[in-house]
Chain A
Amino acid sequence: MDILTQQLFNGLTIGSVYSLVALGLTLVYGILHIPNFAHGALYMLGAYITLTTMLLWGFNYWVAIAISVLVVGLLGVLMDRLVFHQLRNAPPIHDKIAAIGILLFLEALAQLIWGADYRSMSTPYGEVINMFGLTVTMQRVLINVGAIAVMILLFVFLKKTYIGATIIAMAQNREGAHLVGINTNKVAMLTFMLSGGLAAFAASLSAPINLVFPGMGHLVILKAFVIIILGGMGSIPGAIVGGYILGFSESLGATYLSNDYKDIIAFLLLVIILSFKPKGLFSREGF
């Protein structure tokens, strides 16, 4: 029983990180129909920037996260302007090739700047606490609270503000958005900003319990793709639900099946869910 609750909490933690990453990916996919493979590189850069600002300038953890979110968000905007916007009239395959190109470029860049070493990030929230009979580190609690708070903020922003609603409008009908006078270029930039910011926030939260290295985005982005495919491409609730499904099944699978095979579980789930719901769990109905 103790192990079960402990693993459920772990699942929640992993799921929170996955959901944040998948949300950024699904937002961009929803409005531009670009599978942004470079999203994993943004995640990786988010961790490095938080780490560096803390080590180099001695910034407080939260200030470092804020800087990282901002910088990576702007990097996302730059990516849209310099690459994807230029390709707006090109066949869709060009976007995909470009996204992989950006991924490789950013990873090589990170290796050049920070080297290939594995680094660990220290956190002011390392203490162990007891909560509802669980023994957890404060950092893990922080991941859950932080992720859920950000998801609520995002939801309110998309549903309750005019500017947020433009993202949803553009996702549902791009020309319709044009015809009501929405500047779709600005919406695209805003979406990339959000997407990058979410990736940086997720990475900064989870880096203290993992390691920071140039390839750290690989598995995360691969799983984020699994999540948005099984949640329904472009669906926001799908990304959140999918993230948690994956988080829970991985932590439970690692405990009760085999720790060595935990990374396979994601893909097994993908096969099973797509067999029954070929368009994913939410297939854009809830965007």
Chain B
Amino acid sequence: MLKLSGLTVTYGSFAAIEDVTIDVAEGELVVLLGSNGAGKSSTFRAISGLEKPSAGGITFDGKNIAGQSPERIVKSGVVQCAEDRKLFPQMTVHENLIMGAYVHRKKKKEIRQALENVHALFPMLQEKKDHAAGSLSGGQQQMLAIGRALMSRPKLLLLDEPSIGLAPLIVEQMFEVIHQINQEGTTVLLAEQNANAALKIADRGYVFESGSIVVQGTSEELFTNDAVRKAYIGA
């Protein structure tokens, strides 16, 4: 479904990611592991069209999307929920969700359906629908960010560190919801530092180190891989 081949993104003379090759099949939940600055977010930014790759290709459903504008990429069904959430802080929760459905703005019925789905997934978003997004707690903001991304009914959801800065209990809930989203048919590419939790719900994974992929495999393989255990699981 999504194929990155030899993707390289540079900022000036610094290569944030180099020669990254990733494959995601339809219906999978794939995790990108790695510490801060390892290149996960740069990979996501390139997929979403926020950064132009300096080499390599990105195809989605067989069509080249590398270097396309972010709005065309969203229209084709790839939506990113960014690490810093990028909500509209002074808009209400409801308005944020409605903006999430921007690409379907002419289809009222679909928007209502998507809104119901998101509310079913995160009942909190319905309770707080008239609150300003900026007034929510970190966990609630993360839920809103995921909800907003789901409003565009993506085929592929990119989740950049959804557990960052959240309390352990909330993190657990978050991973349950991500698992559920995947089970309901959305392909998920997840960037995480929390390898333990992520590998539990993922099918496969890639490990980033200084901008390149160093290990890849199924979740079981990564879970039992010594280097991965030492670096990311801590056992």
Binding site for B on A (CB under 8 A): 162, 165-166, 168-169, 172-173, 175-176, 178-183, 284-287
Contacts and interface: CB of A to CB of B under 8 A. Distances in A.
A182 B71 contact: yes
A287 B90 contact: yes
B99 A183 contact: no
B86 A176 contact: yes
Nearest to A186: B71
Interface stretch (B74-82, B190-198, B226-234): B74-82
B124 interface: no
Contacts of A287: 90
9 contacts: A162-B102, A176-B82, A176-B86, A179-B70, A181-B70, A181-B71, A181-B74, A181-B102, A181-B103
A179 B86 contact: yes
Contacts of B102: 162, 166, 180-182
B205 interface: no
Contacts of A173: 86-89
Contacts of A165: 91, 95, 98-99
A184 to B, nearest CB: 8
Contact of A172 (B70, B79, B90, B149): B90
Contacts of B87: 173, 176
A169 B87 CA distance: 9
A178 B45 CA distance: 11
B63 interface: no
B103 to A, nearest CB: 4
Contacts of B211: none
Interface string B94-108: 010011101101000
A169 B49 CA distance: 19
A168 B87 CA distance: 12
Nearest to B132: A285
Contact of A179 (B80, B89, B90): B80
A176 B48 CA distance: 11
Given A165-B98, A181-B102, A285-B90, 20 more contacts: A165-B99, A166-B99, A168-B88, A168-B91, A169-B91, A173-B88, A175-B86, A176-B82, A176-B85, A176-B86, A178-B49, A179-B48, A179-B70, A180-B74, A180-B99, A180-B102, A180-B103, A180-B148, A182-B102, A287-B90
A169 B90 contact: no
Interface string B111-152: 000000000000000000000000000000000000011001
A162 B103 CA distance: 11
Contacts of B91: 165, 168-169, 172
A179 B99 contact: no
Contacts of B170: none
Contacts of A168: 88, 90-91
B71 A178 contact: yes
Interface in B3-37: none
Nearest 5 pairs of A and B residues by beta carbon: A181-B74, A176-B86, A178-B70, A181-B103, A172-B88
A59 B70 CA distance: 45
Given A165-B99, A166-B102, A181 B89 contact: no
A183 B86 contact: no
A78 B230 CA distance: 58
B183 interface: no
B12 to A, nearest CB: 13
B86 A181 contact: no
Nearest to B151: A180
B95 A183 contact: no
B75 A181 contact: yes
Interface string B46-80: 00111000000000000000000111001100011
Given A165-B99, A175-B50, A181 B152 contact: yes
B88 to A, nearest CB: 4
Max chain B C-beta neighbours (<10 A), residue from A169, A172, A178, A180: A180
A179 B82 contact: yes
A134 B188 CA distance: 68
A145 to B, nearest CB: 30
Nearest to A181: B74
Given A168-B91, A175-B86, A287-B90, A180 B152 contact: yes
Contacts of A166: 99, 102
Among A165, A166, A172, chain B packs the most CB atoms within 10 A around the CB of A172
